[in-house]
Amino acid sequence: MPDVRSICAIGLRGQMGLNGSLPWEGNTDPEFTADVARFFDITRGHVLIAGEKTIGAIPDFARNDRTLFVIRRDMQPEKVLAQFPDRVVFIGGGPVAWGAYAPFIRHWDINRLPYDGEADRWFDPQWLTAGGPG
């Protein structure tokens, strides 16, 4: 079984998404650009598992120094993770992915950003205590 982790950013009240994007998308303030750079630094050399939209948003410069794997709703997390034994695997892509993979995530890396605006997707604290498989 791989070492399964998650890395995400949330707003001040747990905001995660708005209309299918990050609510702070395009914000060039230092805290936001540092968060993006940190994401690419931490996931470098590892596996990033996420939905098609998230994987599709990975820029060209970051595609060769990490393993990218697109997940779909009908895939069983155990079978997906079994493809990456002895690797560090990051689960990305938002609430659907984290809801499915939460029981397998050993380490949550959550960066709280100074965003306090609108959202339609929120971090669910129950993911942190989701029971492990079997």
Domains and CATH numbers, the chain: 3-129 (3.40.430.10)
pLDDT of residue 50: 95
| Tens digit of each residue's pLDDT (9 = 90 or more) over 36-48 | 999 999 999 999 9
The mean predicted confidence, pLDDT, of the chain is 94
Q: Is the pLDDT of residue 56 over 90?
A: yes
**Using 50, 70 and 90 to split pLDDT, how confident is the model at 1?**
confident
Give the pLDDT of residue 133. 55
Residue 43, φ and ψ in degrees, nearest 5: -85, -10
pTM of the predicted model, to two decimals?
0.91
